[in-house]
Amino acid sequence: MSYGLQFTNNSGTVIVDSEFARLMVISSGRFAPTEESGMGSTTYFARPVTSQEPPLVFVRPDTVGGIAGLCRMRLIGSAGNWTGFYVRAYNVNTAQPNGRYFVAAFAAQAVAPYGMRLWDGGGNLLFDSGTPNASFTRCFQGWTYVKYELTDQGLYRNYYTVPFDFPQNEYMLINNFGMKMTSGGTMSRELYCLWDFAQNTLYAITVAGSNPFAFFLPAVFAKLVV
């Protein structure tokens, strides 16, 4: 940047500047079962996210129960007024949807009663001392195909895995696990994520009428910067 304001940390990494927005945490808290006999969870943010583009929701399921699975994530609201999200447990054999979350966007919101705010040259709010930022920590995309099995309906259920540890301060992006994938057939691939905490293994599971082995969806992780 040729002019403006810039903060760097002891390692020389830019923390805040007056040109680019960081990934700012707009709301955080817990999600819990609210419907569907404990299988479904609707969570409303402490404040709406006012970005035009959909915000990013990161989750950290509780480790109680050993195995947690989530699917069918969707945002609640619309552009400029995102108010919450829904997520569902994988099935009755996995833990209910309990855990921590934060929602973030590449823009700040005016929430602090006092402190500091920073705008770019176009008047967009880049930083507010009441919205902390988050940092991406890692991304897995090299999934290993494990096996397939047939469901009672004759559909293919594929399992993919990556070994990983899951620190308590790390969260996984859930938005991309709420969408469907192409399958090479007329039926889209349903997508699920499954955490086996005892085995330090993360699974991605797809269900479709055909059995494509390729799987490249990234699993993205981030943590709160405090």
Model confidence pLDDT, tens digit, residues 159-194: 999 888 888 889 999 999 988 887 777 788 899 999
Determine the pLDDT at residue 76: 98
Which of 85, 102, 136 lies at the terminal end of a domain, its last residue?
Answer: 136
Q: How many domains does the chain have?
A: 2
Q: What was the pLDDT predicted at 165?
A: 82
The reply to whether 129 and 146 lie within a common domain is no
- CA angle 168-173-175, nearest 5°? 150
130 and 158 inside one domain: no
pLDDT of residue 40: 97
| Intervals of the chain under pLDDT 70 | 1-3, 65, 226
Claim to verify: residue 27 and residue 108 sit in the same structural domain: yes
Per-residue model confidence (pLDDT) at position 2:
65
Are residues 106 and 148 located together in one domain of the fold? no
The reply to whether 145 and 60 lie within a common domain is no
pTM: 0.89
**70 in any annotated domain:** yes
- The domain in which residue 149 lies consists of 138-224
- Of 73, 108, 136, the last residue of a domain is 136
Residue 127 lies in a domain: yes
Per-residue confidence (pLDDT) for residue 145, from 0 to 100 = 94
Q: Point out the domain boundary residue: 136, 166, 190.
A: 136
Looking at the structure, tell me whether residues 165 and 58 fall in a common domain. Answer: no
| Same domain flag for 195 and 151 | yes
The pLDDT, as a whole number, for residue 93 is 86
DSSP the chain: --SS-EEE-TTS-EEEESSS---EEEEEEEE---BGGGTEEEEEEEEEE--SSPPEEEEEE--TTSEEEEEEEEEEEETTEEEEEEEEES-TTSB-S-EEEEEEESS--S--SSS-EEE-TTS-EEEETTS-BEEEEEEE---EEEEEEE-TTS-EEEEEEEE----TT-EEE-GGGGS-B--SSSSPBEEEEEEETTTTEEEEEEEESS--------EEEEEE--
State whether 150 and 117 are in the same domain.
no
Q: Are residues 54 and 91 in the same domain?
A: yes
Q: Are residues 128 and 211 in the same domain?
A: no
Residues 40 and 103 in one domain: yes
Q: What is the pLDDT of residue 148?
A: 93
Whether 1 is in a domain gets the answer no
118 shares a domain with 17? yes
